[in-house]
């Protein structure tokens, strides 16, 4: 059964020439980037201190600050306001929009695998998915 999805894809902002080299990951987030975005999606408007407090392993403030800067360069966060000396951050997309964008990028990377016809890639993926759905595995 095919499901119709009406959610628009989150469109990454057009990067500057300087940023283009930094955006190799695109919509795919690393583990810490994803944890930070989870906290931001849960909290909405938030500060670095609030993000640090929300993470179970409590990484260093400076680690979260530099990762948040990378997320801003990638277009996932923006500075909204200041509260005293603290910067208020907000997400630029919803979690669902990110899911669609990351899924689309992962699928495109998969289908762009060099030297392997897309038909074979798709057949292999279908086989793997069928095995995962099978109650015998």
CA distance 68 to 122: 35
Judge whether 10 lies within some domain. no
What CATH code is carried by the domain that includes residue 67?
Answer: 1.10.10.10
- Same domain assignment for residues 32 and 67: yes
Residue with tokens 């277009």: 75
Check whether residue 46 and residue 80 sit in a common domain: yes
pTM, entire model: 0.71
Range of the domain at 123: 95-133
Closest CA to 11 of 71, 73, 98, 78: 98
User: What pLDDT shows up at residue 20?
Assistant: 41
- State how far the alpha carbon of 121 is from the alpha carbons of 33, 72, 134, in Å: 29, 34, 20
Domain membership flag for residue 11: no
Residues of the chain short of pLDDT 50, as ranges, are 1-9, 15-24
pLDDT at 63: 96
Q: Which tens digit of pLDDT belongs to each residue from 53-83?
A: 999 988 999 999 999 999 999 999 999 988 8
Q: What is the pLDDT of residue 83?
A: 86
Asked, for residue 23, whether it belongs to a domain, the answer is no
Query: pLDDT value at position 88?
Result: 96
Q: At what angle do helices 31-43 and 61-74 cross, to 10 degrees?
A: 90
Residues 100 and 127 in one domain: yes
Q: What is the pLDDT of residue 119?
A: 93
Q: What does the DSSP 8-state code read for residue 93?
A: S
């Amino acid at each position: 059964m095919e499901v119709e999805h009406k959610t628009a894809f989150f469109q990454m902002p057009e990067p500057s020439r300087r940023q283009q080299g930094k955006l190799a990951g695109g919509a795919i987030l690393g583990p810490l980037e994803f944890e930070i975005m989870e906290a931001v999606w849960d909290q909405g408007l938030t500060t670095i201190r609030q993000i640090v407090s929300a993470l179970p392993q409590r990484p260093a403030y400076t680690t979260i600050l530099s990762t948040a800067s990378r997320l801003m360069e990638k277009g996932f966060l923006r500075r909204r306001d200041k509260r005293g000396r603290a910067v208020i951050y907000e997400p630029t997309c919803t979690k669902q929009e990110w899911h669609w964008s990351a899924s689309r990028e992962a699928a495109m990377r998969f289908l762009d695998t060099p030297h392997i016809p897309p038909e074979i890639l798709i057949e292999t993926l279908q086989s793997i998915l069928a095995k995962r759905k099978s109650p015998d595995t």
